[in-house]
Amino acid sequence: MTARARSLPVNGRRNRPEGRAAAGILIAILAAVVLAADQLAKVAAIASLPPQEPVPVIGEFLVFYLVRNPGAAFSLGESVTWIFTIALAVVAVVIGWLAATRVRSRLWAVVLGLLLGGVLGNLGDRLFRPPGFGIGHVVDFISTPWMMPAIYNVADMFIVTMMIAVALLVVTGFRLDGTRERRVRADGDPESDSDDQPVAGSDSRP
């Protein structure tokens, strides 16, 4: 007996806002919240932290260390800052296009909204911080030596975690429109899925 893939709705309306407008609004709100949190944290770091001097917050578990990064993670690509500016702008445009034309899933809207906020946070640094438009240095100040040697910021945290979330949604078959790809038997009946739970108290006997 062979199986084929078919898109089926996941949990009815629970994972689907009322149309693309609702998803777009949710994405915009979450992006604005993350962008504001990132920029406020950077302003506070610049105002209160000495440049390139470690300030232990919780011992070696959390250390503030203010730097201005012209490159990517681990200061890679310092001489081609403009490439990162273009890449961030492209990602922001793609997310905006998806929000306007494709996304109807509430879960996808949350993930993309948080991701967009992180992207805009670092893109703002590239565009408006010294040494100039499009080649600005990103403000990093969070260090967790026990986890990784890189110094990062609030935007980076949302970018990394939401990219992982995007990968998980894709791997598990969640689609932008709120449906999920499930395996369906040749007789047309969907195979058992963890999302299909019996109603509490129902009688399963014939």
* Active site (catalytic) residues: 140, 156
Residues with Cβ within 8 Å of 84's Cβ and at least 6 positions away in sequence, in order, are: 71, 72, 77, 126
Q: Which long-range contacts (CB under 8 A, 24 or more apart) does 4-8 make?
A: 4/183, 4/184, 4/186, 5/181, 5/182, 5/183, 5/184, 6/181, 6/182, 6/184, 6/190, 7/175, 7/179, 7/180, 7/181, 7/182, 8/179, 8/180, 8/181, 8/182, 8/190
Structure tokens at 167: 């990968």
At position 184, the amino acid (one-letter code) is V
Q: CB–CB of 141/109 below 8 Å?
A: no
- Phi, psi (degrees; rounded to nearest 5) at 180: -130, 135
